[in-house]
Amino acid sequence: MKRIICLNANGLRSAIQKGLQDWIAENKFDMICFQETKMDSSHADPDYFKSLGYHSIWHCADKKGYSGVLIMTKEIPLNVSLGTGMPVYDREGRLIVADYPGFSLANCYFPSGSAGEERHEFKMQFLKDVYPVFKKLLKEKKNLIVVGDYNIVHKELDIHNPERKDNPSGYRPEERAWLDKWFTELFDDSFRIIHPNKKEFSWWSYRAGSYFKDKGWRIDYQSVAKALSPKVKNFIHHRELRFSDHCPLEAHYDL
């Protein structure tokens, strides 16, 4: 059984200060995928978490204190690739793909469009451009898992106030339609395999006591190739843990 964690750390060093390493040491997960490490290449040491028994694979943004993804893994992958092959996205450190015996794991940090219309347009272009990348990866690797912060609410069940009319990035029809296509043509949603009708969230704004009122969004996912759907055995949103404004996602796969 593989236990895979996914977490937008919103600054890895900040999350570490909140007890992240103790939690990892207690649980001994197989792979841990972080988004938004906010650590540049000067910190990208493969032995960064060696004391915990993990090899670290980094894809950092060129800009300091911004974006970045990391896979911590107990098992050294057979092969690793970094980036989408498109410099406009790869300079922001958004994708790692690691191949293991019998499956592949992709850790992806999708752009946020919340800063304004320009970044929302950038996000929509990213979605358009990476869809064929993942379609090709799925054809090549077949048993593919794609974890990360997608920055998109999929269904009305995945947001605390689905009736809202202010059209925020993350809950717009065009991006939700993209995710519909993703979960129809390419992948299944690991959480929904285990909990088809449950209302749970993965992100809560730091504003207005949103976490304590459970006013959240589900924007973080572990997607599985449809052939792997029967292998999903459990899925947990660790809402009780506050390493960042996102909670860790834990999935168990019979791999």
Mean per-residue pLDDT, 195-222: 96
For residue range 99-144, list pLDDT tens digits in order.
Answer: 999 999 999 999 999 888 999 999 999 999 999 999 999 999 989 9
Instruction: Please give the residue range of the domain that contains residue 202.
Output: 2-253
Residues designated catalytic: 149
Residue 103, Cβ density class (10 Å: 0-12 exposed, 13-18 middle, ≥19 buried): buried
Sign of CA dihedral 132, 81, 231, 21: negative
Residues 235 and 249: beta-carbon distance below 8 Å: yes
Give the C-alpha separation, 21 to 26, whole Å: 9
Q: Is the pLDDT of residue 25 over 90?
A: yes
Residues 147 and 106: beta-carbon distance below 8 Å: yes
Mean per-residue pLDDT, 67-91: 98
Residue 41: closest CA among 26, 22, 25, 61: 61
Q: Is the pLDDT of residue 223 over 90?
A: yes
- Residue-level pLDDT at 115: 87
- Residue-level pLDDT at 208: 85
> Residue 114, Cβ neighbours under 10 Å: how many?
12
Q: Would you state the structure tokens that stand for residue 19, as one six-digit string?
A: 């007890």
Mean pLDDT of all residues belonging to the chain: 97
The domain spanning residue 72 has which CATH number?
Answer: 3.60.10.10
- Residue-level pLDDT at 1: 95
Give the number of domains in the chain.
Answer: 1
